[in-house]
Structure 1
Amino acid sequence: MNLFSRSVLGKRIFKNGMHKAVALQASSKSSNPAMQFPCLDKMEELSEQLRNKHGTCSSVDATSSPNNEPNYGKVRSGFKLYKSNQPLFLDYGGVLPKFQIAYETWGNLNKDASNAVLIHTGLSASSHAKSSPDNSQPGWWEQFIGPGNAMLDTNRFFVICTNVLGGCYGSTGPSSPDPADNLPYATRFPMLSVQDIIRGQQRLVKEQFCIEKLYASVGCSMGGMQSLAYAQQFPQAVEKVVTVSACARSHPSSIAMRHAQRQVLMADQHWKRGFYYPSDEEPNRILPHVGMKLAREIATVTYRSGPEWESRFGTERLNEDIPPVLCPDFLIETYLDHQGEKFSLEYDPNSFLYLSKTMDLFDLSQSHQDRSNRRRAEAQRALEKSDVEDKPPRLCDEPYEATKKRRTTTVEEAREDLRKGMEPIIGKELLVVGVKSDGLFPYWQQREIVDLLGGDKNIEHVELDESQSLFGHDTFLLDLEHVGGSIGRFLKNDF
């Protein structure tokens, strides 16, 4: 049954809402009729349906979920699992005692294991970048990968794509069981850095496939951050690096936008501070789908561009002949409403929260590296001593106090810190792609990557203007000619 179809229960809720409005109108003798809110009725109806179905989006899918993790509506089959029983010590002092990473591959690894290309995903993507015999559904980069493809030719390359740590499509994340008690981590999950994610990926590459050196590391958006971090952390383990619509360190404007998304999601009454997964005691808990929907709508504003929306939607309304309403009325509003509604049942809200924060924390500076190395060493010593009682409280457990603290370093000092941290990347063959219509990762952030690396002769910088792409940040998902073509030419230079 389609969750968005109107059930008998939904009709009753809708009618009750109408009756209340009519009663209010009658009792107050209003000069105008009360406005109706079918968009709110629809969300209330969905909440009721999820509750009656014992949390449809949080129910266990034992056939496709290896860890009995929740099923979020997206196809969860066709991937393989790399499992590590060795602890992964994390940059912010946490630890994953063991973990797994979902991955898929296309093409064949050659005899000397020199043709491997690792694809790093954005925030919400699964490992399913391309269809395969194990999963025939189109992948999120379906047209960019395949036999004879102009970008990633699987007749030549062995292509690997993973679901990131912290995600919810097979890899260990907040919805996974904590080995300490076999209950979902929820917000007991440790905070991750982008570097933590790629250290897990590097284990997979080396231990699962015995690959000592990748031919290329390729990523866009958060994946572009990962691609740079892979070269920084393992400079001898990768030949070529591709980063599209990414940055060397997150910018305050991007952090502010993702903060707003998280605040909206966490305000949902069903979020319950992250502990919304059904349990034996509370089997009827439901996904905080309203907060997730609204957070995704805010995010979508940053993914596409104003020029595209002007040509696609303009300021047209659904029906110019009826009075305006507060529910979606403009064409652009209906687009955002659809995007949020669709995503709200496909992805784990906690994964969204954690990974958006991971993007905020992205930093290739030397000082970040030094702090991270120290915290990982401290976490390892604590685990070896089983010194669990002496662990410092997590920041979120400490009382919040408003502060007027401002930055303690100058812009010049911060830039030099960043340049020093990026020194391991110097000399690598690097493709940097920026898009002028991108509002989330503006083109000057890609220019900054090139500048910080000294404009090295091994760097190829491609910048798409608005005559080439109006798709904003999502260009990397849509532009086969300019993004796919640029990557394909770069990878074929000497192979």
Structure 2
Amino acid sequence: MKDYEIYSLGDVILQSGQKLPQAFLAYKTYGTLNSAKSNAIVYPTWFAGQHTDNEWLIGPGKALDPDKYFIIVPNMLGNGLSSSPSNTPAPFDRANFPLITIYDNVQLQHRLVTEKFGIKKIALVVGWSLGALQTFQWGTSYPEMVERIAPFGGTAKTRPHAQVVFEGLIAALQADSNWKEGFYDSQPVAGLAAMGRAYAPWGFSQAYYLEQLYQSEGYSTLKAYLEDYWDQVFLSFDANDLIAMLRTGINGDISATPEDNRNFEQALNKITAHALVMPGSTDLFFPPEDNAYEVKHMPNVCFQPIESKWGHCFGIGQNEQDSLEIDNYLKQFLQLG
């Protein structure tokens, strides 16, 4: 039995001008919306993540406490649960699936929040990695609606270096002879495994590997870690779905809208919500320096790097120390007036 709900959006015109027919968002909620509809938190998913992957930050006594808040976790478009290449009918299926932007994701999430639940104010939008990019987009697109944003492990724009890494992941997958231009008969398993190997050095830091911190995850050797974890990590996903999400990341830019016309600093300045920006100190995808530039152009922000040897993956709940630190900062942040 599925543990999520579907919100149907009808035919949607995307930021690119293309149509996504019969679009839908898969989402899960935690807690109860109060009578004033003032306790909503939106917590988008990330690349290759689904709502269950966000649950490490949700629970009684945590910052995202379902006894206090109504937490909405919308699944990112392309992740196999919301509209994706793998579940969209022809002729927009598989490799014909249109480009989805961060802006598209947030526009449809806004419809879910307002149309389905009648929410006019959001207490917090929070997210990691591409979820952080969606969090920034919420802040600049709906400054009157969002009271707080807390992006961690992600930036408001994907910089060229990260774009190159994402393109490399796509190339690794597509090198599989079974890829067949995206119209494969069965999943390109060798390509999916190669994507995992290509991701491995970027997901975690040099110190993580040097100090063999993967042993805390139950892998005795580097060889076992690569073969038993990274070679397997993407096999549960459809290849076209992964590429759709990576292309969303490659094109990530909160200022790529008609209103801002790629004036990045202008888009950042429109984020008037209280902001808590938490980069990971050793993140190779979204280094702290990129966030440090961004916060200079945000009017109401706290910049709080997280010291961690877990690289980009400091934000997925695997390392208890990092998880507690993120949760504690979020608790303090939610107490702000």
Q: Same fold (TM over 0.5)?
A: yes
Question: Does residue 308 in structure 1 map to residue 208 in structure 2?
Answer: yes
Conserved? CA contact 1:165–1:200, under 8 Å:
no
Question: Does residue 461 in structure 1 map to residue 300 in structure 2?
Answer: no
What displacement does 1:289 show? Answer: 1.0
* Structure-2 change in CA distance of 1:420 and 1:307 (3 Å): same
The structure whose Rg is larger is 1
**Which residue in 1 is equivalent to 2:31?**
107
> Matched residue of 1:152: which SS?
coil
Question: Does residue 152 in structure 1 map to residue 40 in structure 2?
Answer: no
User: Structure 2: which amino acid aligns with 1:474?
Assistant: C
> Matched residue of 2:144: which SS?
helix
1:116-131 mapped onto 2 (5 Å cutoff): 116-128=40-52
**Which residue in 1 is equivalent to 2:97?**
189
**Which residue in 1 is equivalent to 2:217?**
none
1:387-466 mapped onto 2 (5 Å cutoff): 417-425=263-271, 427-453=272-298, 456=299, 458-465=300-307
Separation of aligned partners in 1, 2:274 and 2:54? 23
Separation of aligned partners in 2, 1:156 and 1:354? 35
Deviations 1:8-36 (A, max 9, x none): xxxxxxxxxxxxxxxxxxxxxxxxxxxxx
Normalising by structure 1, what TM-score?
A: 0.63
1:323-402 mapped onto 2 (5 Å cutoff): 331-365=221-255, 368-370=256-258
User: Structure 2: which amino acid aligns with 1:470?
Assistant: K
User: Structure 2: which amino acid aligns with 1:175?
Assistant: S
Structure 2 residues without counterparts, runs of 5 or longer: 215-219
Separation of aligned partners in 2, 1:97 and 1:349? 21
Separation of aligned partners in 1, 2:101 and 2:68? 32
User: Structure 2: which amino acid aligns with 1:424?
Assistant: K
Deviations 1:414-453 (A, max 9, x none): 8xx211222321x210010011111111111111121122
What displacement does 1:463 show? Answer: 1.2
User: Structure 2: which amino acid aligns with 1:115?
Assistant: N
Deviations 1:354-393 (A, max 9, x none): 111111111123xx212899xxxxxxxxxxxxxxxxxxxx
* Structure-2 change in CA distance of 1:250 and 1:177 (3 Å): closer
Separation of aligned partners in 1, 2:254 and 2:64? 27
What displacement does 1:299 show? Answer: 1.2
Separation of aligned partners in 2, 1:196 and 1:473? 24
What displacement does 1:246 show? Answer: 1.2
What displacement does 1:300 show? Answer: 2.2
Conserved? CA contact 1:176–1:184, under 8 Å:
no
> Matched residue of 1:81: which SS?
strand
Separation of aligned partners in 2, 1:101 and 1:121? 12
**Which residue in 1 is equivalent to 2:8?**
83
Separation of aligned partners in 2, 1:331 and 1:372? 49
1:246-265 mapped onto 2 (5 Å cutoff): 246-265=154-173
Conserved? CA contact 1:290–1:344, under 8 Å:
no
Question: Does residue 292 in structure 1 map to residue 192 in structure 2?
Answer: yes
Separation of aligned partners in 1, 2:135 and 2:248? 15
Normalising by structure 2, what TM-score?
A: 0.92
After superposition, the CA RMSD in angstroms is 2.0
Separation of aligned partners in 2, 1:424 and 1:95? 28
User: Structure 2: which amino acid aligns with 1:487?
Assistant: L
Conserved? CA contact 2:92–2:98, under 8 Å:
no
Conserved? CA contact 2:260–2:266, under 8 Å:
no
* Structure-2 change in CA distance of 1:104 and 1:361 (3 Å): same
Conserved? CA contact 2:45–2:74, under 8 Å:
yes
Question: Does residue 239 in structure 1 map to residue 239 in structure 2?
Answer: no
**Which residue in 1 is equivalent to 2:316?**
477
Separation of aligned partners in 1, 2:301 and 2:221? 42
* Structure-2 change in CA distance of 1:347 and 1:372 (3 Å): farther
> Matched residue of 1:123: which SS?
coil
Separation of aligned partners in 2, 1:189 and 1:141? 26
> Matched residue of 2:296: which SS?
helix
What displacement does 1:351 show? Answer: 1.2
What displacement does 1:113 show? Answer: 0.6
**Which residue in 2 is equivalent to 1:70?**
none
Deviations 1:256-303 (A, max 9, x none): 111111011112111111112xxxxxxxx2111110111122112211
**Which residue in 2 is equivalent to 1:384?**
none
What displacement does 1:142 show? Answer: 3.6
Identity %: 26
Separation of aligned partners in 2, 1:482 and 1:308? 18
- The worse-fitting range, judged by mean Cα deviation, of 333-342 and 245-254 is 333-342
Separation of aligned partners in 2, 1:371 and 1:89? 17
User: Structure 2: which amino acid aligns with 1:234?
Assistant: Y
Separation of aligned partners in 2, 1:485 and 1:294? 37
User: Structure 2: which amino acid aligns with 1:118?
Assistant: V
Separation of aligned partners in 1, 2:9 and 2:258? 26
User: Structure 1: which amino acid aligns with 2:19?
Assistant: V
**Which residue in 2 is equivalent to 1:266?**
174
